[in-house]
Amino acid sequence: MTPGLPACRSELRCGKQQGAVTAEFAVALPAVVLLLALLLAGGAAGVTQVRLEEAVRAGARASARGESSGSVETIVKRLAGEAAVPGLSEEGGWRTVTASSPVGGALGYLIPWKLTASASARTESASP
């Protein structure tokens, strides 16, 4: 006859450490949530930066074609969002468009990040 199996194979099943996994999970959960929130905030910052860069490129192209500053600002705000603050400057035949915007997303308003982008384009001259 084979000997009987013991009722408890490990301390976990016997109740000596019952609840230890729950306690460890409760300690680790805030760190995991914080890490996830920071990753999401970083993703929102990346998306905001890409939108700003695309907006200033389009604005610089429009400005180089000779469009008005109001039209360029409208283009930048449409592409980067209404929170974007556009700026225009011209120096030596080059037109530079800059824009800055706070980071959106779940944590964007808690963390005061302000991203900027700028693009320059040479002013197009009319051919005779």
pLDDT in tens, 98-127: 999 998 776 767 778 899 999 999 988 755
On whether the pTM is more than 0.95, the answer is no
**What CA–CA distance (Å, rounded) separates 28 from 67?**
56
